């Protein structure tokens, strides 16, 4: 039976925590669940609605938890199930929902399911993973590639077959064409719902089902332009991924998953979409009321961010999405830090405030990555300190994801910035010390203060939370749109350039009254124009003609 849902997630703000790097409570150099629990008051004061935790399940950590060896237990480096229960209760007591990562497309090669599956071609789990015979010449069964480099097929000497892996060879793909696999995964999802979590972030949500005929992907050729999901130095981007993911049957499993989640009150799911056409897939996976509640893709997670590009992304999504509900992410654990990608490593507060206000004003549910509220830049990690296998493989043109995963700086004058009393798994970036939480809490006008002010103001703005959105005409420097709800219209204007500009109000707006409690600056309203300083922003209540 479908439970009641307050739809708190519709317009709610999610704060992503990378557990390894948030707070170490037991001095082993790795963040843990107890450490997260200790920092929940900080998150509550920030003003977000939910936290999303990257995986903390049992894992050999070849891909830092995205290679699960037990879906229903906590890895000892993060704590215990009891620690998870305490964290969930503490979060709920503070009014914070808890979303956890679910990595359903693949498991670790050390999962008991795979250990049994690879032992023979006739065991009970022989077809729980994607196995295929070699071609007559011994080559892999088709041309599919791994995102982490090379073929998506790994030879296994016991079965004398290849198994599929979209990521590391130690992350074999589960076979969703097998109903038993689907049911086992649904059972693991129910385990966490029964424990009291409020929803799931679905890793690689469109990767679950592969083409049963194992047809070759069409060639794309060497990319010459922008690819938001995969660097063009990676041969993965040389194919159109027609058959190795985003299959129609994937939506059938999503409906089963949604029906299960809907049995529990006030729950939600947000999906990560990696596709050749991420916006279209994102719209497809969130349409109606029986698939994902919301999803995000990689179009705003690349380097491109001028007004023309952003207007194009929003315009195309509006055209194809209809009533779909997006989750807009500008940063996460898989991409370069926002302040470095879009801010070119500057410390320009006007610029970083504009990025934040833009994200938090869009129709959808924003997701903020830990440290973005501090303006952390991408850390420069020496090769000998790299941990990410993706970066080690693709070095030096692509340095991987370690630079956005360094420990959270809590206090500048403490050992390892208050993250741990021992050497952390990744070094604390020296350039992050003067951006620490305590430093910014003690500095009026800091970026952290702005996030707190804006997020807590936003909680009372139903128009921003749930209202419709109308994108205003393209401008070379300015992105502008209106949000409308129950008779109120808000105008949101952002100068995405380092040059001042005069922006003309559309003829449909008769009167414009700036809202000064947002913490934004750099805009002066004239009779029919708005003077915007470099990176200036404005949110105003307007009267339409």
Q: Do residues 504 and 528 make contact, with C-beta atoms less than 8 angstroms apart?
A: yes
Catalytic member of 263, 303, 319, 468: 263
How far is the C-alpha of 18 from the C-alpha of 433, rounded, in Å?
19
What average pLDDT does the segment 318-339 reach? 94
Domain boundary among 458, 480, 499: 458
**pLDDT for 544:** 84
Q: In this structure, is residue 363 part of a structural domain?
A: yes
List Cα–Cα distances, 269 to 88, 195, 254, 264, 332, in angstroms.
17, 16, 10, 12, 17
Q: What is the pLDDT of residues 500-543, one digit of tens each?
A: 999 999 999 988 999 988 899 999 999 899 999 999 999 999 99
Q: Copy the structure tokens of residue 80.
A: 């215990």
One domain for residues 430 and 468: no
The answer on 488 and 446 residing in a single domain is: no
429 falls within a domain: yes
471 and 359 within one domain: no
**Are residue 444 and residue 478 in the same domain, yes or no?**
no
Instruction: List, as one string, the DSSP characters of 466-521.
Output: H-EEEEPPP-SSEEEEEEEETTEEEEEEEE-SSS-EEEEPPTTEEEEEE-GGG---
Give the Cβ contact number of residue 240 at 10 Å. 13
Question: H-type helices in 138-242, by residue range?
Answer: 179-195
Report the pLDDT averaged over residues 309-338.
Answer: 94
CATH number of the domain encompassing residue 270:
3.20.20.80
Both 454 and 379 in a single domain?
Answer: yes
Q: Is the pLDDT score of 124 beyond 90?
A: yes
Beta-carbon contacts of 153 under 8 Å, excluding residues fewer than 6 positions away, are: 132, 140, 141, 142, 144, 162, 163, 164, 165
Side-chain-side CA neighbours of 411 within 13 Å: the count stands at 9
Which letter, b or e, does each residue of 497-522 get, where b requires 16 or more Cβ atoms within 10 Å of its Cβ? Answer: beeebebebbeebeebebeeebbbbb
Q: Strand order of the sheet with strand 523-525?
A: 501-504, 529-532, 523-525
Per mean pLDDT, which range of 3-17, 57-71, 128-142, 314-328 is the poorest? Answer: 314-328
Classify residue 510: in a domain, yes or no: yes
Judge whether 227 counts as a catalytic residue: no
The verdict on 405 and 501 lying in the same domain is no
For residues 481 and 353, state if they share a domain: no
Are 282 and 430 contained in the same domain? Answer: yes
Q: 203 an active-site residue?
A: yes
Q: Kindly state whether residues 397 and 496 are assigned to the same domain.
A: no
Question: Which H/E stretch holds residue 530?
Answer: strand 529-532
Q: What is the pLDDT, as a whole number, of residue 213?
A: 98
343 lies in the same domain as 470: no
Distance CA 126, CA 124 (A): 6
Residues 479 and 428 in one domain: no
Identify the pLDDT of residue 133: 98
Count of domains forming the chain: 2
Domain presence at residue 236: no
User: Are 450 and 489 in the same domain?
Assistant: no
User: Is 217 inside any structural domain?
Assistant: no
pTM of the predicted model as reported, rounded to 2 decimal places: 0.97
Residue 406 has pLDDT above 70, yes or no: yes
Alpha helix segments (H runs only) across 19-100: 33-46, 81-93
User: Which residues span the domain enclosing 530?
Assistant: 464-544
Question: What's the rounded mean pLDDT across residues 230-254?
Answer: 94
Q: Residue 225's pLDDT band (boundaries 50, 70, 90)?
A: low
Does residue 326 fall inside a structural domain?
yes
- For the chain, give the percent of residues with pLDDT over 90: 92
Minimum mean pLDDT range among 66-75, 136-145, 197-206, 502-511: 502-511
Q: Residue 115: phi, psi to the nearest 5? A: -55, -45
Q: What is the pLDDT of residue 459?
A: 97
Locate 180 and state its tokens: 């038993």
> In angstroms, rounded to a whole number, what is the distance separating the alpha carbons of residues 211 and 232?
25
Catalytic one of 24, 203, 284, 373: 203
Angle between helical axes of 278-286 and 307-321 (0-180°, round to 10): 40
- Reported as a single tens digit per residue, the pLDDT across 437-494 is 999 999 999 999 999 999 999 999 999 999 999 999 999 999 999 999 999 999 999 9
Which segments of 218-275 does DSSP mark as H helices, in order?
248-261
């Amino acid at each position: 039976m479908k439970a009641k849902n307050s739809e708190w997630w519709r317009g709610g703000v999610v704060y992503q925590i990378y557990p390894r790097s948030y707070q170490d409570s037991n001095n082993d150099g790795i963040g843990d669940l107890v450490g997260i629990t200790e920092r929940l008051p900080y998150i509550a004061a920030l003003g977000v609605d939910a936290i999303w935790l990257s995986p903390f399940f049992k894992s050999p950590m070849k891909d830092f938890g995205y290679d699960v060896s037990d879906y229903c237990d906590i890895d000892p480096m993060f704590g215990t199930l009891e620690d998870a229960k305490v964290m969930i209760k503490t979060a709920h007591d503070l009014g914070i929902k808890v979303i956890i990562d679910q990595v359903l497309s693949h498991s670790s090669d050390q999962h008991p399911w795979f250990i049994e599956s690879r032992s023979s071609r006739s065991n009970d789990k022989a077809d729980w993973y994607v196995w295929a015979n070699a071609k007559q010449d011994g080559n892999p069964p088709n041309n599919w590639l791994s995102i982490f480099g090379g073929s998506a097929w790994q030879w296994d000497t016991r079965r004398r077959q290849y198994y599929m892996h979209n990521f590391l060879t130690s992350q074999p793909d589960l076979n969703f064409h097998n109903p038993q696999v689907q049911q086992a995964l649904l059972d693991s999802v129910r385990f966490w719902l029964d424990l009291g979590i409020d929803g799931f972030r679905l890793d690689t949500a469109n990767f679950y089902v592969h083409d049963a005929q194992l047809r070759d992907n069409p060639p794309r050729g060497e990319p010459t332009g922008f690819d938001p999901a995969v660097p063009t130095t990676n041969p993965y981007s040389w194919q159109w991924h027609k058959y190795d993911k985003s299959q129609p049957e994937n939506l059938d499993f999503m409906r089963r998953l949604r029906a299960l989640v809907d049995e529990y009150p006030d729950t939600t799911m947000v999906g990560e979409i990696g596709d050749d056409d991420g916006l279209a897939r994102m719209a497809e996976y969130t349409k109606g009321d029986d698939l994902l509640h919301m999803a995000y893709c990689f179009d705003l997670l690349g380097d491109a961010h001028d007004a023309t590009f952003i207007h194009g992304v929003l315009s195309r999504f509006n055209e194809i999405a209809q009533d779909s509900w997006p989750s807009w992410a500008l940063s996460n654990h898989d991409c370069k830090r926002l302040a470095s990608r879009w801010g070119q490593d500057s410390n320009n507060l006007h610029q970083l405030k504009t990025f934040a206000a833009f994200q938090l004003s869009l129709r959808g549910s924003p997701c903020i990555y830990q440290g973005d509220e501090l303006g952390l830049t991408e850390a420069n990690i020496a090769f000998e300190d790299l941990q990410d296998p993706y970066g080690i493989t693709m070095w030096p043109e692509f340095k991987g994801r370690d630079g956005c995963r360094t420990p959270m700086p809590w206090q500048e004058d403490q050992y390892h910035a208050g993250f741990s009393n021992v050497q952390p798994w990744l070094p604390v970036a020296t350039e992050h010390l003067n951006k620490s939480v305590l430093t910014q809490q003690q500095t009026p006008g800091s970026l952290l203060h702005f996030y707190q002010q804006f997020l807590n103001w936003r909680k009372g703005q139903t128009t921003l939370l749930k209202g419709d959105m109308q994108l205003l005409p393209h401008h070379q420097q300015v992105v502008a749109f209106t949000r409308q709800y129950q008779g109120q219209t808000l105008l949101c204007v952002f100068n995405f350039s380092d040059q001042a500009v005069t922006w003309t109000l559309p003829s449909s707006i008769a009167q414009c009254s700036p809202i000064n409690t947002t913490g934004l600056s750099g805009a002066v309203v004239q009779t029919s124009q708005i003077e915007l300083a470099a990176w200036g922003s404005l949110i105003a209540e307007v009267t339409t003609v």
